[in-house]
Amino acid sequence: MRIVFSKLVGNTSNFPLQYRFFHVIALIGFFMSFSASIINYLLDLGIFTVIIPFVCGIISIYLYYLSMYKKKYTLSVYLALIMLTFIFFPTMWLINGGSFGSIPYYLIVYSAFIAVLLKGFKRVLAIILFLGTIMALFIFEYKFPWFVHGYDSILSRYLDVFFGFIIAVIFNAVTMAAVINGYNMEHERVILYLSEVEKQRKEIEQKNYLLEKNNEELKEAKQKTEQLNLKLREISVIDSLTGTYNRRYLLKCLNSLRKTAEKYGQTFSVILLDIDHFKAINDTFGHVAGDKVLKKVCRTIKNNIRETDIFGRLGGEEFMVILPETHKEQAFVVAERIRQDISNITWAGQDMKITVSGGVYQYNNEKLIELLKKVDNFLYQAKNSGRNRIESDIS
């Protein structure tokens, strides 16, 4: 039944609610007109009371077709209202008993039609015109009662009024039912739409939550990766025991500084230090004590150099200090101060004296391997000269 009704008045996807109401009203108007025509014929109320409703029924079908299939809703509504307000009802009033006949019942149904089909100012205007027409009919009937065609008998009047009342009640109920059903259908659509919107909103919120969670996880993973890379970088350039730069990083810095100095005519100096008799320290006091010696020697060296200087462990007990923009005389002073401070270190609980030997050399446009060889030669010269001393080519 619902499918048939939907086909007759139009489905919700193609026709707005107000359009579908008009289709219902047009169909009701068709049945009302034909039923009135038949009743008037059976009551023998005159040929005009039969023809006029019949013609109105034909017009109702045409207006239904015009709106339903030609999609000319507004034109159909205006034609229907003009025809009913100014032609059909005034004519039927005059030829079918006036205020004593069945037409007043149809007028009540028609007022509901106006309320449903129009809105806003147009609705108010249509009702005012309709009320004006009714008022004019009452006045005209009061002033010129002989122009209103009456009934041939009381029985005809009662039967016409009775059937008019029944038809008005039925079609008024049908109209209101159509309105309520249409409203309920729209309400169901709205609820379904809101349900879908809410469902989509929750899905979007869930996706946003997952995206935020993924972003947080990615951010956390990125931070961990950066930390890991930093740690790997530290591992790749830092000596694990002393916490100073390792051989690989020292040679990289030395080569980079050599290229810069060569390009811009700058200079730098290198200090090479080696702990004297370190193997004997390990053999006598153990490797734990040897590690402590390495760490304390590193701290002493750090305390005697600038922040711009580069210091690290070449390997074993050998250390290097790179002093940018420093001449050999200045570097020699630094190396000698380091040597003295290390020799003055006291070792609580252990009877040992730690000294270092060192070599100082100023860069003189050599290649890296030649530079290392020359500063290493000064270190060996200090070792061979009795240790605990610094050697250089200072004249």
Collapsing DSSP to helix, strand or coil, 249 comes out as: helix
Angstrom distance (rounded) from CA 148 to CA 216: 87
Amino acid type, 327: H
Strand order through the sheet with 356-362: 310-315, 318-324, 268-275, 356-362, 390-391
% residues pLDDT > 90 (the chain): 34
Angstrom distance (rounded) from CA 55 to CA 41: 14
- Nearest Cα to Cα of residue 166 among 26, 32, 46: 32
- The pLDDT tens digits for 312-327 are 999 899 999 999 999 9
pLDDT at 221: 77
Q: Give the count of beta carbons closer than 10 Å to the beta carbon of residue 261.
A: 17
Q: Which domains does the chain have, with CATH numbers?
A: 2-200 (no CATH), 247-391 (3.30.70.270)
Q: Mean of the pLDDT values across residues 338-352?
A: 87
* Residue in 188, 212, 220, 317 annotated catalytic: 317
Torsion of CA 70, 71, 73, 74, to 10 degrees: -90
Tokens of 136: 């004019």
Angstrom distance (rounded) from CA 335 to CA 362: 13
Residue with tokens 């049945």: 31
Q: Is 317 a catalytic residue?
A: yes
250 has pLDDT over 90: yes
- Residue scoring higher pLDDT (241 or 45): 241
- Residue scoring higher pLDDT (276 or 221): 276
- Nearest Cα to Cα of residue 358 among 336, 328, 342: 336
Average pLDDT value for the chain: 84
- Nearest Cα to Cα of residue 168 among 74, 224, 102, 228: 102
CA atoms within 13 A on the CB side of 172: 14
Tokens of 101: 């006949």
Confidence band (pLDDT; 50, 70, 90) for 357? very high
How many angstroms separate the Cα of 6 from the Cα of each of 76, 191, 358? Answer: 20, 20, 104
- Residue scoring higher pLDDT (21 or 255): 255
